Structure 1
Amino acid sequence: MPREGAARSEGGLAEDGQLWDWQRPSVLLVEDDAGDAVLVEELLADSMIDPRLTWVQSLAEARRELAGGAVGCVLLDLHLPDGQGLQALAEILGQAGSAAVVVLTGLAEEQTGLAAVAAGAQDYLVKGRVEPELLGRAVRYAMQRKQAEVAAAALQASRLQAQENARLERGLLPSPLLRRPGGIDVVAAYRPGRAQTLLGGDFYDVVQGVDGTVHALIGDVSGHGPDEAALGVALRIAWRTLTLSGHTGAEAAGMLEQVLVAERPSVGIFATLTTLELPEDRRWMRVLRAGHPGLLLHTPAGVELLEVAGGPALGILPGLARWEQQEVELPAGAGVTVFTDGLFEGHTGRGPERLGEEGLLALAREHAALPAQQFVDALIDRTQQLARHHGGLADDVAVVHLR
């Protein structure tokens, strides 16, 4: 059983719940020699710090203490009954987590101390040459160095994650591929939700066929994270490939479902989507919905929420689902806005009320006279503002506006 020195007080954490308490650190002494343990305890008692000291006599006991996670610094002797030298250090480092490690060596083992630092310890002390002030300072500095290492590692991980997210985002959010620029105005926007340290699975695309038909896609993979984002990229690229090779409508939806089923990380993952086809005369469009929200139709008479008949989301009924395209007339100068559900699922105040599709329609009518880019920005900004009491929109938002 671990033995507690007189310097130990109740609890293993600082009063604020943190391990990094420089004046009252939680110190674990791993030392099988009782005389040396008493000496270290006396030195700590006379030092500039007031530690919570726990003494154990073996690696096995040390591992149990470290598993509790309430240790700020480990003082480690390298000669233990169940571990010797750098092998003992390696075992402690593997369990230490955010705890600093200071190695205790004998008078003739200074090279071993240097090797221990090279192997990952924050510092080493030579028994017989340690004074109270030196020991207290070594413990504090070791903890500070460990904290700096932990912060640096977290920063590097964050940078790598940001780079990966940027690569995935480029795949999710492409530039429209228009063969005849000027024939149609396209505005696309994406905003990550406040809860997303990881990219979500919203995706969109716009391409134009050789016959002048403009094809648009917007979709949303359930869940959040790199797997869902990567699946969104796969679906978008597959859709563009299918569209440019002449496979559209229900046929393309069936093929996209096959891609989703083959690539999804778990059977519970599904994807909603809407596809649009606008022939060159722009007098009508074909709409296919697979579990996705409706769309906003802009006409000279105003803005309406259009919800044509559709089918289930991709992946809900693999191989059994059926989808049909619906034709919708387009008055001269009409515009269409498609979006993911993050745009209307945000809160509208301090309570649980959410905007909903009707609330989104009211916002769209309020800003209908704005130019396309300003209209899209206003929709997102207003929904974000309405959700400010809940920290903003929680989910990702993708919007595509065609006119």
Structure 2
Amino acid sequence: MIPPLSGSNTVATPADVATNYRITVIEDDAGDALLVEELLADTGLTHTIDWKQTLGTALPALATTKPDCVLLDLHLPDASGLSAIQAVEAACPTTAIVVLTGLAEAAAGERAVAGGAQDYLVKGQVTPDLLARVVRYAVHRKQAERASAELRENRLHAQENARLERGLLPAPLLAGSPVAATTRYLPGRERALLGGDFLDVVQTRDGLVHAVIGDVSGHGADEAALGVCLRITWRALVLAGHRGIDLLDLLEQVLVAERPREDMFATCSTLELDPSTGSLTIHLAGHHEPLLLEQTEAAELPAAHGIALGIVPGLAKWTPSRAHLPSGAALLLYTDGLNEGRTGHGNERLGTAGLIDLVRTAPSRAPDELLDHLVDSARALNAGRHADDMAVLHLTWN
């Protein structure tokens, strides 16, 4: 009885001295398995080897050990052909697969490569040099395939993000206006698509400046798509002359019609600013108040609260709140990703008071520098413990 193969060969060529190839042999014939071990010992590759006689015993080990290369017999007691290749690939997608075929099965080896294997070897025609080349190239080929797949995925991800960003973060329509807008947007998760937060600013023909910032509940593609829909709808309705409660009611109707699930809702703040007088009208739908920034001070701008869009469709009531924006002052509108993160002091949230402290201690009140300071400081304090999308809108009036 030949014992299960395991061990390592430490004789390496200069090209392979830095690489320890982890190799699993799945072969039911003990004699063929021993021959593969002896050939590997003569290759000069630094390697470790593990032998499994059946696919059923190999798959759990593959998922745990994740070898660099699997030498796979195409005829096992419990699997054969392409099904065996697919099972190995599913258990360990990063592993290169080299199939072992008989003398009369060269065509089977070619079919195996077409079906996902990196290469094949014909039993009885394998030399140490050939085995070394096949293992090295199969591993490198698999790595190149994975890198290429990740590159394609990253490109598609970037393209999708760019499309969503154009929908969620349009260019403000403020030509010739004394109002200036500065924005920031960050998804809550690494490599995530942009989320459901949205914002927009437009100036209408009557000279009024309109702004919105909102947050669709949840994270993901559905939420991002709904956020884009609401943002575009808001702009179209504002340019068509809709204002205040009528505007929010129409937005809610669109949300209810477009949302893929009944539990989805959206919070938002809308405002109208008359630059000629500084008069301001605010509507809150489940959203928090904006901050009024004057010189070195910052404070919440009092406003009446209303229910979020989509919670009780058709029954919500929103109350307008009016205020005056002093010349040279600024407004800061934001979603809760900015102020609901942790602070590093126990489980304490940053909150509105903490955000106001960040504004007061900012080294500069210039819009870009201020927003960078707020976003960077909030993320540093949070240290990844709270993952929510973050949208910020800064408006100045001169």
* Structure 1 equivalent of residue 165 of structure 2: 169
* Structure 2 equivalent of residue 51 of structure 1: 48
Amino acid at match of 1:361: I
Alpha-carbon spacing, 1:242–1:4, altered in 2? closer, same or farther (3 Å):
farther
Alpha-carbon spacing, 1:390–1:77, altered in 2? closer, same or farther (3 Å):
same
Q: How many percent identity over aligned positions?
A: 49
Q: Give runs of aligned pairs for residues 233-312 of structure 1, distance below 5 A.
A: 233-279=228-274, 281-298=276-293, 303-312=298-307
Alpha-carbon spacing, 1:91–1:377, altered in 2? closer, same or farther (3 Å):
same
* Structure 2 equivalent of residue 13 of structure 1: none
* Structure 1 equivalent of residue 394 of structure 2: 400
The DSSP-based 3-state class of the residue aligned with 2:218 is strand
Q: How many pairs align?
A: 383
Structure 1 stretches of at least 4 aligned residues deviating more than 6 Å after TM superposition: none
Question: What's the offset of the Cα at 1:256?
Answer: 1.9
Q: Following the alignment from structure 2 to structure 1, what is the Cα–Cα distance between the partners of residues 125 and 360?
A: 79
Q: Is 1:322–2:327 an aligned residue pair?
A: no
Extract unaligned runs of 5+ from structure 1: 10-20
Judge conservation of contact 1:204–1:236 (CA < 8 Å) in 2.
Answer: yes
Q: Is 1:157–2:149 an aligned residue pair?
A: no
Alpha-carbon spacing, 1:205–1:305, altered in 2? closer, same or farther (3 Å):
same
Say which of 113, 116, 129 aligns to 1:120. Answer: 116
Question: What's the offset of the Cα at 1:222?
Answer: 2.7
Q: Is 1:196–2:195 an aligned residue pair?
A: no
Alpha-carbon spacing, 1:385–1:367, altered in 2? closer, same or farther (3 Å):
closer
Say which of 206, 214, 218 aligns to 2:213. Answer: 218
Deviates most, 244-253 or 389-398: 389-398
Q: Is 1:208–2:203 an aligned residue pair?
A: yes
Extract unaligned runs of 5+ from structure 2: 9-17
Question: What's the offset of the Cα at 1:369?
Answer: 8.2
Deviates most, 329-338 or 146-155: 329-338
Alpha-carbon spacing, 1:350–1:386, altered in 2? closer, same or farther (3 Å):
farther
Say which of 159, 178, 182 aligns to 2:176. Answer: 182
Question: What's the offset of the Cα at 1:116?
Answer: 2.9
* Structure 2 equivalent of residue 385 of structure 1: 377
The DSSP-based 3-state class of the residue aligned with 2:287 is coil
* Structure 1 equivalent of residue 224 of structure 2: 229
Judge conservation of contact 1:187–1:402 (CA < 8 Å) in 2.
Answer: yes
* Structure 2 equivalent of residue 14 of structure 1: none
* Structure 1 equivalent of residue 99 of structure 2: 103
Alpha-carbon spacing, 1:131–1:183, altered in 2? closer, same or farther (3 Å):
closer
Amino acid at match of 2:184: Y
* Structure 2 equivalent of residue 73 of structure 1: 69
Judge conservation of contact 1:296–1:304 (CA < 8 Å) in 2.
Answer: yes
Q: Following the alignment from structure 1 to structure 2, what is the Cα–Cα distance between the partners of residues 389 and 283?
A: 35
Judge conservation of contact 2:29–2:53 (CA < 8 Å) in 1.
Answer: no
Amino acid at match of 2:393: V
Q: Following the alignment from structure 2 to structure 1, what is the Cα–Cα distance between the partners of residues 124 and 85?
A: 21
1:279-337 deviation digits (Å, cap 9, x = unpaired): 36434221100121211224589543113111122233333322121222344555422
Judge conservation of contact 1:24–1:50 (CA < 8 Å) in 2.
Answer: yes
The DSSP-based 3-state class of the residue aligned with 1:260 is helix
Judge conservation of contact 1:337–1:402 (CA < 8 Å) in 2.
Answer: no
The DSSP-based 3-state class of the residue aligned with 1:207 is strand
Q: Following the alignment from structure 1 to structure 2, what is the Cα–Cα distance between the partners of residues 301 and 127?
A: 80
Alpha-carbon spacing, 1:266–1:73, altered in 2? closer, same or farther (3 Å):
farther
* Structure 2 equivalent of residue 146 of structure 1: 142
Judge conservation of contact 2:265–2:310 (CA < 8 Å) in 1.
Answer: yes
TM-score, normalised by the number of residues in structure 1 = 0.81
